[in-house]
Amino acid sequence: MRFEKPVPLQQIAQLINAELIGNATASATGINEIHKVEKGDLAFVDHPKYYDTCISSAASFIIINKKTSFPEGKALLIVEDPFEAYLKIVDHFRPFKPSMKLISDSAGIGKDTVIMPGAYIGNRVSIGKNCIIQPNVTILDHVIIGDNVVIQSGTVIGSDAFYYNKKTNRDVHYKKMASCGRVVIENAVEIGAGCTIDRGVTGDTLIGAGTKIDNLVHIGHDTIIGKNCLLAAQVGIAGAVTIEDNVILWGQVGVNKTLTIGEGAVIYAQSGVKDSIPGNKVYFGSPVEDAREKMKELVWIKRIPELWKRVMKNQGA
């Protein structure tokens, strides 16, 4: 999440009641997760396993629960519970603001765009030119939509990430990590009916230009979908996935989190992608394999009863 303007670290330290050490006169430009951070960002870490990764990342300022060494020019904000500090920062700089109008006063709608009855457009949404937003579409806060985009009925854009911090005290419970990211939809995208596209946790979920999405597709938080991709009905994509340009996912393909599908890959229906796969190949199965090899395997599986009869006959059974 980008702050509207740089925020002095001393102000943030006061907000979260943190001990500030290091570059105390600096200002933060945003707050992000480790895999999204850029120079000037805040990040938080609350487990020793990830201290080094966080401190050596691009983040300039680290919210942490222990004093430790860190590179010159950076700063630590030391608090008892970094996760709670993150939630407090998000709530302060991007609080939930209900809008009771079907189109928020802060939304921007481009020339010749049609918003049909029952559609809801949230706070600080931007929609480009020549778009069609069909009835009962929900576009939640901070979504950015380009030109010539079609979104069909019942679709929800910008819902919260399915993202929870596991807490273990006397009982295991899950605490929601507030979503302060966005959904960005580029030009000439078409999205079918009944789809759900989650906002990034702190960054952006991105749908590339020219991509076409069928009905009942789910796209998880922080997923990056390239240009001119095709996603058929009931595809489900987990969080922080990268799908490169010109990829085709046929019906009911399931994609695991934090992986990459290479450019030009085609994945046949009802397949499961559990790891990153290279592009310009055709895949099938769960987990996916080269489609031709998988088809050969299925042929041999069908022959097992016949082969078993031959074995038994040769043994005189």
Q: Which residues are catalytic?
A: 221
CB 183 within 8 A of CB 197: yes
State the CB neighbour count (10 A cutoff) for residue 244. 18
Q: For residues 17-34, b (16+ Cβ closer than 10 Å) or e, as one string?
A: ebebebbeebbbbbbbbe
How far apart, in whole angstroms, are the C-alpha atoms of residue 74 and residue 172?
Answer: 34
CB 138 within 8 A of CB 183: no
Instruction: Give the three-state DSSP class for 265.
Output: coil
- Host H or E run for residue 19: strand 19-22
Q: What is the DSSP string of 101-125?
A: SSB-TT-EE-TT-EE-TT-EE-TT-
